[in-house]
Amino acid sequence: MKKSTRFLCAFLSMATPSMAATIAEWNFGTNTESWAPIVGSSALTASGGLMSGTATSNDPQLSVSGLNLTLGVGQTWDQVVFRVRETAFAPHSTDGFTDGTTVNVFNPTGLVVNFNGLGTAGVYLYNVPASFTGVDSGDGFFTVSLNVSALPAATTVTSLRFDPIGGAASNSNSETNGNTFEVDFVRVTAVPEPSAALLLSIGALGLLRRRR
């Protein structure tokens, strides 16, 4: 491959604003890292990289506060991603699952992600089921992602809420009340704006050309 072609390929790859930067991440190695239930869940515990709880209603909600998450110059909010598993420990007449069954069907009904609290100015709420994408990631877990690029770039995130297994009626094709859930991680990401990524790529290309 000619050097000019290699430079062009490198330029095009760097100009694509798809490389996400992690703004915040919780992995629950030995503790819940300040996450706590708002409503609908027993007290949370953490062990071996999993945060666990039991739904005490059909709408468990978890949150973390005291944050100060801001974007760098030229960044925009990208996604909230979490990996979760729900286990049914009681028979449910609506789905036929029995004791101890790990449910392997993703249903986004009732899922919510909320920035900066409820009932206050500047609340950013995401609760449209079609906005959530769940991918089977093995062993009963689903990796759930939500595009939050509409969140204003100037927003300082002070708290984050998410519903690990939906609410209202059901999620993962089971009645939620009484089920256990395990959260592997929660992650918030950002990406460069296209113009910023392009400028960075032009600068990198210039450096490469000067080294020729």
Q: How confident is the model at residue 57 (pLDDT cuts 50, 70, 90)?
A: confident
Helix (H, G, I), strand (E, B) or coil at 51: strand
Q: Which residue has the higher pLDDT, 96 or 37?
A: 37
Question: Average model confidence (pLDDT) for the chain?
Answer: 80
At 150-179, the pLDDT tens digits run: 999 999 999 999 998 865 444 454 567 888
Most confident of 51-60, 72-81, 131-140, 191-200: 72-81
Radius of gyration, CA atoms only, the chain: 20
Distance CA 28, CA 22 (A): 16
Q: What pLDDT shows up at residue 87?
A: 78
pTM, rounded to two decimals: 0.78
Domains and CATH numbers, the chain: 1-17+193-212 (no CATH), 19-192 (2.60.120.260)
Q: Among 19-23, 136-140, 156-160, which is the least confidently predicted range?
A: 136-140
Q: Which two tokens stand for residue 182?
A: 């395990």
Q: What pLDDT shows up at residue 195?
A: 52
Distance CA 143, CA 187 (A): 11
Q: Among 8-17, 52-61, 190-199, which is the least confidently predicted range?
A: 8-17
At 67-117, the pLDDT tens digits run: 999 999 999 999 999 999 887 655 544 544 444 555 556 778 888 999 999
Given a contact cutoff of 8 angstroms between Cβ atoms, the answer to whether 78 and 151 are in contact is no
Distance CA 102, CA 110 (A): 19
Q: Among 5-14, 55-64, 74-83, which is the least confidently predicted range?
A: 5-14
Given a contact cutoff of 8 angstroms between Cβ atoms, the answer to whether 148 and 80 are in contact is yes
